């Protein structure tokens, strides 16, 4: 059986793999003592990269994921260089690794680039075995302690981290695991062995699943297993990760990721793992570059590494900047604190100004960050305040919003109202047992169904507007009547606060454009501004869940229908004089940004750590536009 080395890369050059790129790829492939094959589907059919006729039949356009596999004496070198060549848009000749450099190809789990010292994160090891006392009671005590630890972490967490920790805590609270462990203890096993056995059985079930999302949840159970076992055995915690490190590991567990301060940079590279894992979700939400399935990753600390999370490339001990593709070079050295604004000269001789805003879930994410890096905050997620044991009061919400507005120092801040439901249930509000919660009572639908709770949030927002310029954004709007119902509630609460003599101020009212029914009839919605929610919009337009690896090739922000819808919303905003921006993963993806810019978008809200990379891509596109026709999202007949 042939042993292949594999990699994949997103084609971002304007013409994809057509005549000139195919010729150059054939010429390169013939230089290696290796079989080199490509495909547009990981299952094949596989095409010989030495055949120009066969390559031209592939017709891999821009936005296509090109899969590469190599075998033979030069397999590793061939994969690294062909991968680099394709990632760089088939531009130039990728240089051979310098002496001492090592190029590893993995799978992108979170975009972005980073450069820094390597820190090897060792797998947790048990150092002792506690056998004293009642085994069942010892285990119960350990589980109670682990639950308390998770609850404490939840109090300091936000965004997806809170959901992940909540998922783990519910597993610990489930008596099913405890019952299986109790039976083993009764049969004579000690607490640690009994616990490990029962959790491993669950892990095995997840890892045997063909569903990548279920497979990825096995890491959460390993996290729980290690946490409880450490409490049973008195295992010491691993050494802390220095800020700015490039972390190498077999696998990183959610609690390990959450314990690292990523605000000073760094990246994550693992030998195992999945782009659908909870850690990958956390990495994307925090702008941490991450590569998984990096076969051949060395276990040597004290080295340096360049990580190109967009293309799944790791360069260890880089000696030359050109070791990464051309696009990587543009942003690998970009500073983490760039100043605004970003402008380019347009076709009329004037200047177009791009606005870069940031996404946050709370004021704690802004600690140590200067507002000069951005043009404001384009998305404040508020639903994570509602996921504790009690709903937040008006004063608690006012304090949270005011802290963010004071940090912004007069820059505009857009706060999204409660976006619960779907994958973010809120106890006491969300409906249980919905057959398809993503199409159920979520976003503004849930808010209007719980108006007493919603009014409290609207009052807090109106009061916070007295601190600084505030825009209120409504999620999951499908019908104009929903937006108007919210407007009426805002007016009522503003009148009530004013009559009570409470300091408040009016706010701009905007909407998320994420439901196709709203996007396609945008002229019917009388919003002050529009924010395109790319995550849900792509999900609903392509009928493909964004967290389901089985349909990962279908969930595509470069889908022509998605880009056409975005273009129409941007054009309506331009005609009506209303701002249009985009928030969501697509806005921080360098492979997608050029196509989004081609739709006319000039405002993006991205994770804090993605600002530098996004600004660099915008400037790169601006430079190319001085001499080239703006790239099309999906060229249909380019064969040059």
Give the start-end residues of each E strand in 540-589. Answer: 580-583
The answer to whether 336 is annotated as binding is no
Query: In terms of DSSP bridges, do strands 342-345 and 35-39 run parallel, antiparallel, or are they unpaired?
Result: unpaired
Which DSSP category does 261 fall into?
-
| Cα(576)–Cα(570) distance, integer angstroms | 10
Q: What residues contact 553, with CB distance under 8 A and at least 6 apart?
A: 41, 65
Largest Cα–Cα separation, the chain: 82
The answer to whether 394 is annotated as binding is no
The answer to whether 556 is annotated as binding is no
Please compute, for residue 504, the number of CA atoms within 13 A of its CA located in the half-sphere on the CB side: 22
Catalytic residue among 18, 67, 115, 583: 583
The answer to whether 113 is annotated as binding is no
For residue 352, what is the enclosing H or E element? strand 351-360
For residue 81, give both structure tokens. 């260089």
Tell me: cis bond preceding 386? Omega within 30 of 0 counts: no
Helices (H), 409-530: 444-449, 451-464, 480-500, 516-519
Q: What residues contact 24, with CB distance under 8 A and at least 6 apart?
A: 85, 90
CA distances from 164 to 151, 160, 161, 279, 387 (A): 12, 6, 5, 9, 12
Rounding to the nearest 10 degrees, give the CA dihedral for residues 204, 140, 237, 121.
Answer: 10
The answer to whether 197 is annotated as binding is no
Tell me the angle at which helices 175-186 and 135-156 cross, rounded to the nearest 10 degrees. 150
Vertex 325, ends 320 and 330: CA angle to 5°?
85
Count of CB atoms situated within 10 Å of the CB of 186: 11
Task: Based on the residue annotation, tell me whether 278 is a catalytic residue of this protein.
Answer: yes
* SS3 track for 270-281: ECCCCCCCHHHH
Which DSSP category does 392 fall into?
P
The answer to whether 463 is annotated as binding is no
| Cα(281)–Cα(283) distance, integer angstroms | 5
Catalytic residue among 67, 83, 278, 374: 278
Per DSSP, the three-state class of 597 is helix
Q: What residues contact 278, with CB distance under 8 A and at least 6 apart?
A: 160, 164, 167, 216, 217, 219, 220, 254
Residues forming the annotated binding site for Mg(2+)?
A: 514, 536
Query: Looking at the annotation, which residues are catalytic?
Result: 278, 583
Q: Which residues are annotated as a binding site for phosphoenolpyruvate?
A: 381, 416, 535-536, 546
Q: Extract the annotated binding site.
A: 381, 416, 514, 535-536, 546
């Amino acid at each position: 059986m042939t042993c292949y080395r594999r990699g994949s890369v997103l084609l971002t050059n304007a013409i994809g793999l057509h005549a000139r790129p195919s010729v150059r790829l054939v010429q390169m492939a013939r230089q290696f003592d290796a079989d080199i094959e490509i495909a547009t589907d990981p299952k094949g059919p596989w095409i010989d990269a030495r055949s120009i006729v066969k390559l031209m039949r592939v017709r891999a356009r821009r936005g296509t994921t090109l899969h590469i596999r190599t075998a033979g004496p030069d397999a590793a070198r061939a994969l690294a260089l062909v991968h680099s060549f394709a990632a760089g848009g088939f531009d130039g000749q990728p240089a051979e690794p310098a002496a001492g450099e090592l190029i590893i190809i993995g799978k992108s789990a979170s975009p972005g680039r980073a450069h820094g010292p390597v820190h090897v994160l060792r797998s947790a090891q048990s150092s002792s075995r506690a056998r004293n006392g009642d085994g069942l009671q010892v285990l119960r005590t350990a589980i109670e302690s682990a639950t308390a630890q998770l609850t404490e972490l939840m109090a300091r967490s936000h965004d997806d981290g809170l959901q992940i920790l909540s998922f783990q805590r519910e597993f610990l609270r489930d008596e099913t695991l405890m019952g299986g462990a109790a039976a083993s203890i009764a049969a004579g096993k000690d607490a640690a062995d009994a616990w490990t056995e029962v959790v491993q059985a669950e892990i095995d079930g997840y890892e045997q699943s063909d569903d990548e999302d279920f497979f990825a949840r096995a890491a959460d159970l390993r996290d729980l297993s290690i946490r409880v076992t450490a409490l049973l055995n008195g295992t010491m915690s691993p050494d802390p990760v220095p800020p700015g490190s490039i972390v190498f590991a077999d696998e990183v567990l959610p609690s390990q990721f959450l314990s690292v301060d990523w605000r000073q940079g760094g990246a994550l590279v693992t030998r195992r793992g999945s782009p659908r894992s909870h850690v990958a979700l956390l990495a994307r939400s925090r702008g941490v570059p991450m590569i998984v399935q990096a076969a051949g990753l060395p276990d040597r600390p004290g080295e340096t590494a360049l990580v190109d999370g967009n293309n799944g490339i790791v360069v260890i001990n880089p000696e030359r900047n050109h070791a990464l593709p051309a696009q990587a070079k543009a942003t690998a050295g970009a500073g983490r604190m760039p100043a605004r604004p970003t402008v380019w000269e347009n076709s009329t001789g004037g200047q177009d100004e791009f606005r870069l805003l940031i996404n946050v879930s709370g004021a704690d994410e802004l600690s140590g960050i200067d507002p000069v890096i951005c043009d404001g905050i384009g998305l404040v997620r508020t639903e994570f305040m509602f996921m504790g044991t009690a709903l937040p009061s008006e004063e608690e919400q006012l304090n949270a919003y005011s802290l963010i507005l004071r940090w912004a120092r007069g820059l505009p801040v857009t706060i999204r109202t409660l976006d619960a439901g779907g994958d973010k249930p809120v106890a006491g509000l969300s409906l249980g047992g919905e057959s398809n919660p993503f199409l159920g009572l979520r976003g503004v639908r849930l808010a209007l169904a719980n108006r007493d709770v919603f009014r409290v949030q609207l009052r807090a927002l109106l009061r916070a507007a007295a601190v600084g310029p505030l825009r209120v954004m409504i999620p999951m709007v499908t019908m104009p009547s929903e937006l108007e119902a919210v407007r009426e509630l805002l007016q009522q609460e503003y009148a009530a606060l004013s009559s009570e003599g409470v300091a408040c101020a009016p706010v701009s009212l905007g909407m998320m454009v994420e439901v196709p029914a709203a996007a396609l009839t945008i002229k019917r919605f009388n919003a002050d501004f529009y924010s395109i929610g790319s995550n849900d919009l792509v999900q609903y337009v392509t009928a493909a869940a964004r967290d389901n690896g089985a349909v990962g090739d279908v969930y595509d922000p470069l889908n022509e229908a998605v880009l056409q819808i975005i273009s129409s919303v941007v054009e309506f905003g331009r005609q009506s004089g209303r701002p249009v921006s985009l928030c969501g993963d697509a806005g921080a993806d360098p492979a997608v940004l050029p196509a989004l810019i081609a739709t006319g978008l000039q405002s993006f809200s991205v994770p804090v750590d993605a600002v530098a990379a996004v600004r660099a891509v915008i400037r790169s596109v601006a430079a190319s536009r001085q001499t080239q026709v703006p790239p099309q999202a999906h060229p249909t007949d380019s064969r040059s």
